[in-house]
Chains A and B, each alone.
Chain A
Amino acid sequence: MANPYVNQGTLNRALTSLSVVDIPELNVTTGYFAEQLAVINFEDRISDYIPTTAGAVPSPRLVQFVTVRAYLNKAQGLAAQWEQQRLTNAIIGDVVVVTDSSALPVYYLQNCVLENVDALNLNGTSADFAISIRGTYPVNSDLFT
């Protein structure tokens, strides 16, 4: 029987960060997040599986679209920086997302846009300034070799 007492590792929410490669003033580190930090949502599929009469044909995709929702602290100036970015240019270029697990690699997203800013709760009970960033995540790199 396999040993069940293997090290389970730890999560560290202080590691979570978001870096806008060409606009570093938009970088978000631990001290600038609201409570929920960030969520990465992977859209669509990594591979298609096309039915045939006798089975299916695998068809891996080259990229996957990704939406990152980051919850900034609206009581800090960084939220205003992002608001300013919304007013001037939604195209923000490449973004690096570091997760709360040191075991996972960083997620390097290409050609990102600031897609939206969520509804702002103005009744003094929420620190959230939630932004959605959409970008491209290259997958199935073996297709090129």
Chain B
Amino acid sequence: MKIDRKLNLVIPLEREDGTSLWIYSTPIRKEVFETYFLVLAKTFSALSRNGLDPRSGPTVAALMLKEIALATPRDLETNWLEGDDGVNGKTGLLAEIVRLSNCLVGTADNGWQTIPLQDALDKKLITDDEKSEVMNLLAFFTVSSLIAPKQDRPILIEGMARIYRLEVTSSAFTEWASSFKTRMLAESTGAKAGETPSSDGTSTS
């Protein structure tokens, strides 16, 4: 797998009540990376230094990013966490990661619906715990795909995807969503024939 800026991450959120939605997120732009390179690089170093690999890193990466931003001075008075364009600001790095993300939601009334991640958050379609989970995964994806040594990037991204059952795709959203819906249809058709689709995409009798 070649890890580059065209690679997108798909995060499934499957709940106990049977509802589910999928978050599709694209990487940050080069200009954004060049603004936040220092905190991103320090976050990757902190994850590595603390032994936070693809098993544990994706559950805390956003927290680590914020902690690093808070501890990194921007000038004599401010740090990289605060302010509108700070990491946690309304046009900052985390807001940018949310801006670059869409949700595919299955609804009873309107079938599949595409909405921005921000809209899903505003409408409470995603709980606070799920938001935290998603932001940590996206922060790990951002840091690992942009900062890690090139030869380590596939190991980190593929490892995270395998452990957390995520999907990494180079397809644009519409293309991915179209193939995803086809897969879901095939799975549900298979299930009706007496099989139960498992979470890793295979079917069992």
A residues sitting closer than 8 Å to B (CB atoms) are: 15, 17, 19, 21-22, 24-25, 27, 29-32, 76-77, 81, 93-94, 96, 98, 102, 105-106, 108
**How long is the Cα–Cα vector from A117 to B102 in the complex, in angstroms?**
25
Give the contact-size bracket for chain B.
20 to 34
**How long is the Cα–Cα vector from A31 to B93 in the complex, in angstroms?**
12
Stretch at the interface among B46-54, B60-68, B117-125, B157-165: B117-125
8 Å CB contact of B116 from A19, A22, A76, A81: A19
Interface of A is mostly: mixed
- Whether B31 sits at the interface, judged by CB under 8 Å, is yes
Known: A22-B172, A96-B116, A98-B115. A31 touches B90 (CB 8 A): yes
Known: A15-B119, A96-B115, A102-B123. A24 touches B102 (CB 8 A): yes
- Whether B78 sits at the interface, judged by CB under 8 Å, is no
Chain B neighbourhood of A106, CB < 8 A: 113, 115, 119
Chain B neighbourhood of A105, CB < 8 A: 110
CB–CB B114/A96 < 8 A: yes
Known: A31-B91, A32-B91. A25 touches B116 (CB 8 A): no
Find the B residue at minimum CB distance from A73: B91
CB–CB A27/B116 < 8 A: yes
CB–CB A25/B90 < 8 A: no
Known: A22-B172, A77-B31, A102-B123. A29 touches B118 (CB 8 A): yes
Shortest beta-carbon distance from B110 to chain A in Å = 8
Give chain B interface residues in 99-113, CB to chain A under 8 Å. 99-102, 110, 113
- Whether B150 sits at the interface, judged by CB under 8 Å, is no
**How long is the Cα–Cα vector from A17 to B98 in the complex, in angstroms?**
12
Chain A neighbourhood of B100, CB < 8 A: 24-25, 27
Shortest beta-carbon distance from B176 to chain A in Å = 10
7 A-B pairs with least C-beta separation: A31-B91, A19-B116, A22-B172, A24-B100, A31-B90, A98-B119, A24-B26
Known: A30-B90, A32-B91, A108-B113. A25 touches B26 (CB 8 A): yes
Shortest beta-carbon distance from B143 to chain A in Å = 19
- Whether B174 sits at the interface, judged by CB under 8 Å, is yes
**How long is the Cα–Cα vector from A55 to B130 in the complex, in angstroms?**
57
- Whether B29 sits at the interface, judged by CB under 8 Å, is yes
Chain A neighbourhood of B29, CB < 8 A: 25, 81
Find the B residue at minimum CB distance from A14: B122
